[in-house]
Structures are given as C-alpha cells and as structure tokens.
C-alpha cells in the first residue's frame, strides 16, 4: 500500500460545501475511483500561491499581467516525491504511476480525451458558472470570500456577483443554456445511435465522465434543490442514473488545514 497522497483542495465554510470546487472534485473522484490512499489538505484562496511554491508545484497558467497563476487541484505524492497541479495532468500521472488501479484514460483515448477537454469547456460549464459562482462566494470562509469576490467580480465585469444572473430572465436563460449544453453531451454519447451512460460504454467510467460528474456534483451541492430536481428530469432522467454511479466515489475525508 503506498503512502497517502497529499491532495490540496479549497475549503468551503459549511460541511455540505466543504469540498465544492468542480476542478478539485475531478481529482477527488480520480483518487476515490482508483482507491488510492490520500489526505486532503485544505488551502484557502489567498494562500494557494505560497503553499504551492513551498510544495514545489509549478503554476498552471499565466495571469493577464504576466505573473504566474497557481491553481488547485494539486497533489504531492510522497511515494515518488512528485508535486503537480491541473486535474488532467494529475489523472495521467496517477494512471502512469499506479498502473494496477482502474485506468482513468485508456491509452488509445488519450489524445481524444485532450480534445474532449477543450470541447467540454464550451458546453454547459460556462453557463452553470453564472448560477453557481454567486452561491459559492456566500459559502467560503472570510479570507477566501474576499479574494474570490474581488477576482470574480473583475473577471465577470460586475460590481457584485449577484448581478451575473439575478432571478428572472437572465437566470432562466443561463439555466436553459445549461440544459442545452448538457444536451450537446448527450448528442456525443448517442452519436453512434447507442444509448450509453458513459463515454466509453455502458458500465465503464473514464476521465471524461468524471469531468462531467464534477460539474454535476457542483450543481447538486450549490444550487437550490429545485434546480437539481429539474436537471435530473432532463434527457430521459439520464443524469440521475449517471450520478448514482458516482456516489461511491464521493467520500470527503476530514483532512487538515494548512496555514502560511
């Protein structure tokens, strides 16, 4: 049995939203799916850069001002002394390092998975964000909330996050776009005329499925119950069946908080 992998996640302040980020959920699902031992280390937003620098994780992107952008998820694997960020890179690392665990990205599908990632970015997640981002802000611990509001208000060009999709036509349109985007994913799944639940078949979960599930779990835990009730009625009820397959991979350990 390998030593527990350190998994860096961003904490919410409430138990129901302790682990809430769709991007870190991808990695949590991956770790749980593979059955690898791990321990969550909770890092508040304003501390991510300092913690990542200390752990030796490289930045994932560059900010508009040219400075490095450090994001979570990230892991530190004491078994190989490897530190890395970005959920798809982590999935590939885990497949390579632990070949006896269930594979996330079947070898033959690697490049297609990378293309999927790009296509997925423009489906339902940009629309979903309009509804979830304002809720997330209300459920972060104080220091993270300040950081989150400031950066997201700037990114969305609003004075207050509630302006992104206030109740009414704007919110209804965003939710309709979520449905349309999920419909695109259904088109992909049914392109060959088969009615499969997952990307590579009826019973097998791969990283593309985990990507979709991570955004659906975000929907379920963030928005009012009425949205989830609505969503699981779409597309012949497939999303309820889909998410039922992920229940056993949703364990969230207590972990520990890191301070800088």
Q: Which residues contact 10 (CB under 8 A, 6 or more apart)?
A: 20, 21, 24, 42, 43, 44, 45, 48, 72, 144
Given candidates 18, 26, 92, 129, which one binds a second copy under the rule CB under 8 A?
92
Closer by beta carbon to a second copy, 156 or else 188: 188
DSSP-derived letter for residue 11 is B
Provide, rounded to whole angstroms, the least separation between the CB of residue 113 and a second copy: 6
Sign of the Cα pseudo-torsion (150, 151, 153, 157, in order): positive
Stretch that binds a second copy, among 27-35, 61-69, 147-155, 196-204 (CB under 8 A): 196-204
Min dist. Cβ of residue 89 to a second copy (A): 9
Among the listed residues 45, 122, 125, 117, the one whose alpha carbon sits nearest the alpha carbon of residue 86: 117
Our CB check for a second copy shows the closer of 164 and 216 to be 216
- Which residue from 14, 110, 224, 256 is in contact with a second copy, where contact means CB under 8 A? 110
Nearer to a second copy, 8 or 199 (CB): 199
Quick one: 4 or 106, whose CB is closer to a second copy?
106
* Smallest separation, CB 228 to a second copy (Å): 24
Region binding a second copy by CB under 8 A among candidate stretches 13-21, 59-67, 186-194, 217-225? 186-194
- Does residue 188 interact with a second copy by CB under 8 A? yes
The residue assigned the tokens 């690392």 is: 93
> Min. distance of Cβ 64 from a second copy in angstroms?
19
Residues 136-175: x where in contact with a second copy by CB under 8 A, - otherwise, as a string: ----------------------------------------
Of 122 and 229, which has the nearer Cβ to a second copy? 122
Of the two residues 20 and 239, which places its CB atom closer to a second copy in the complex?
A: 239
Check binding of 203 to a second copy (CB under 8 A): no
Alpha-carbon distance of 196 to 174, in angstroms, equals 27
Rounded Cα–Cα distance for residues 254 and 222 (Å): 20
Residue by residue, DSSP assigns 153-179 as HHHHT-SSGGGSS-TTHHHHHHHHHHH
Burial of 128 (0-12, 13-18, 19+ CB in 10 A): buried
Under DSSP, is residue 47 helix (H, G, I), strand (E, B) or coil?
Answer: helix
Nearest 5 degrees, angle CA 46-CA 41-CA 130?
Answer: 55
Helices (runs of H) and strands (runs of E) counted in the chain: 10, 7
Q: Which is nearer to a second copy, 122 or 233 (CB)?
A: 122
Among 64, 65, 100, 107, binds a second copy (CB under 8 A): 107
Smallest distance from a second copy to CB 181, Å: 11
């Amino acid at each position: 049995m390998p030593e527990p992998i350190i998994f860096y996640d961003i904490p919410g302040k409430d138990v129901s939203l302790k682990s809430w980020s769709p991007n870190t959920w991808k990695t949590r699902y991956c770790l749980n799916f593979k059955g690898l031992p791990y321990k969550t280390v909770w890092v508040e937003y304003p501390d991510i850069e300092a913690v990542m620098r200390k752990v030796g994780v490289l930045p994932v992107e560059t900010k508009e001002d040219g400075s490095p952008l450090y994001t979570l998820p990230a892991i530190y694997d004491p078994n190989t002394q490897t530190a890395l960020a970005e959920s798809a890179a982590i999935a590939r690392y885990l497949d390579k390092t632990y070949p006896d665990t269930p594979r996330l990205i079947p070898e033959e599908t690697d490049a297609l998975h990378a293309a999927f990632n790009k296509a997925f970015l423009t489906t339902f997640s940009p629309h979903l964000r309009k509804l979830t981002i304002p809720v997330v802000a209300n459920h972060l611990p104080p220091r993270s909330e300040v950081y989150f509001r400031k950066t997201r208000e700037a990114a969305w060009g609003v004075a207050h996050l509630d302006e992104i999709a206030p109740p009414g036509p704007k919110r209804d349109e965003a939710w309709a776009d979520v449905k349309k985007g999920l419909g695109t994913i259904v088109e992909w799944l049914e392109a060959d005329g088969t009615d499969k639940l997952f990307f590579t078949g009826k019973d097998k979960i791969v990283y593309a499925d985990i990507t979709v599930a991570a955004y659906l779990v975000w929907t379920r835990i963030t928005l009012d119950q009425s949205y989830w009730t609505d969503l699981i009625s779409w597309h012949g009820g497939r999303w309820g069946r889909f998410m039922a397959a992920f229940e056993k991979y949703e364990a969230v350990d207590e972990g520990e908080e890191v301070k800088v």
